[in-house]
């Protein structure tokens, strides 16, 4: 039972519901962490944008590798919700169950490429705060990734360390199996399609969102 319950009738601002719509389109449902985070709208929006940017189609880190890294970070942090949901996402992206099952012992597995092993090893170092003192690990990573890719890989690890801690601290329940089965892919926010909206958001971020939201509600009534 989560510490904080979000009633089904809770009213979210329109700009949060925009992200809910996109998440439902991609996952088949609005996930409980999004509903919980959405209760702090001005924090939720930039976090959702960062999530979408890291999981964009043009990312230099391939989708299956991103998902494997996310699952490994979540395993280390004992975030059951994140392991559950992202494992389903890994399988949807084409990773075999046998490979996913060997993720915790990837170093001795023959199912992982050297690039994948370097990325997961780096994820472990970042998550356990050993990256700065792990020069040998960094050398392995540098042999497989460009400096730009390393930065992006580190951002993915850091983002999901934060997500893990929020979801675990607030005791977010694991989704029911039917909800997991509905996952259609990862959350991707197309920068081109949202370009106009994002420019508006940047221009108006410090304005009174309550008034803007009320205007939008009145117009939709």
Task: Assess if residue 20 is contained within a domain.
Answer: no
In order of 17, 60, 184, 189, 212, the CA distances from 24 in angstroms are 10, 25, 9, 12, 24
By residue range, what is the domain housing residue 128? Answer: 58-181
Is residue 208 in some structural domain? no
- Produce one character per residue of 51-88: b if its CB has 16 or more CB atoms within 10 Å, e if not: bbbbbeeebebebebbbbbbbbbbbbbebbbbbbbbbb
Q: What mean pLDDT value characterizes the chain?
A: 82
pLDDT of 135: 83
Phi/psi class of residue 95: alpha, beta or left (left: φ > 0; alpha: ψ in -120 to 50)?
beta
Q: Note whether residue 153 is domain-resident.
A: yes
- Cα separation, 38 vs 27, in Å, equals 17
* pLDDT computed for residue 196 by the predictor: 55
Whole-number pLDDT of residue 5: 82
Domain count, the chain: 1
DSSP-assigned letter for residue 170:
T
3-class DSSP assignment, residue 58: coil
Whole-number Cα distances in Å, 183 to 53, 58, 78, 99, 138:
19, 21, 22, 20, 34
Residue 215 lies in a domain: no
pLDDT at 184: 38
Query: Residue 28 in 3-state DSSP?
Result: coil
What SS3 state is found at 193? coil
Cα dihedral sign, 136-138-143-144 = positive
- Could you tell me if 37 and 166 are in contact, meaning their C-beta atoms sit under 8 angstroms apart? yes
**Cα–Cα nearest to 75, from 161, 133, 182:** 161
Q: Residue 158 burial (CB < 10 Å; 0-12/13-18/19+)?
A: middle
21 occurs within a structural domain: no
- Report pLDDT digits (tens) over 129-184: 998 887 899 999 999 999 999 999 999 999 999 999 998 888 887 655 444 454 43
- Using 50 as the pLDDT threshold, list the residues of the chain that sit under it: 177-180, 182-191, 193-194, 206, 208
Q: Is residue 48 part of a domain?
A: no
Distance in angstroms (rounded) separating the CA atoms of residues 126 and 63: 20
How many angstroms separate the CA atoms of 10 and 41, rounded? Answer: 13
Give the pLDDT confidence score for residue 162 in this predicted structure: 94
Instruction: Kindly report the CATH number assigned to the domain that includes residue 75.
Output: 1.20.1290.10
165 within domain boundaries: yes
Nearest to 86 by CA among 112, 106, 65, 107: 65
Instruction: Identify the DSSP state of 9.
Output: T
């Amino acid at each position: 039972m989560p510490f904080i319950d979000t009633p089904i009738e809770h009213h979210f601002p329109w700009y949060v519901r925009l992200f809910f719509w996109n998440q439902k389109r991609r996952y088949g449902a609005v996930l409980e962490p999004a509903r919980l985070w959405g209760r702090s709208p001005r924090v939720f929006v930039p976090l959702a944008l960062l999530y979408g940017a890291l999981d964009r189609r043009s990312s230099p880190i391939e989708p299956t590798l991103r998902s494997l890294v996310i699952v490994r970070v979540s395993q280390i942090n004992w975030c059951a919700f994140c392991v559950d949901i992202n494992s389903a996402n890994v399988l949807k992206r084409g990773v075999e169950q046998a490979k996913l099952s060997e993720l915790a012992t990837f170093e001795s597995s023959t199912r992982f490429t050297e690039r994948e092993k370097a990325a997961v090893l780096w994820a472990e170092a970042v998550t356990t705060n050993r990256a700065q003192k792990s020069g040998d690990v960094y050398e392995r990573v540098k042999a497989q990734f460009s400096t730009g890719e390393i930065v992006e890989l580190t951002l993915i690890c850091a983002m999901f360390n934060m997500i893990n801690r929020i979801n675990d601290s607030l005791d977010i329940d694991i989704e029911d199996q039917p909800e997991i089965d509905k996952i259609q892919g990862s959350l991707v926010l197309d920068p081109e399609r949202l370009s106009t909206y994002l420019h508006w958001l940047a221009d108006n971020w410090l304005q009174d969102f309550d008034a803007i939201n009320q205007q939008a509600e009145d117009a939709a009534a």
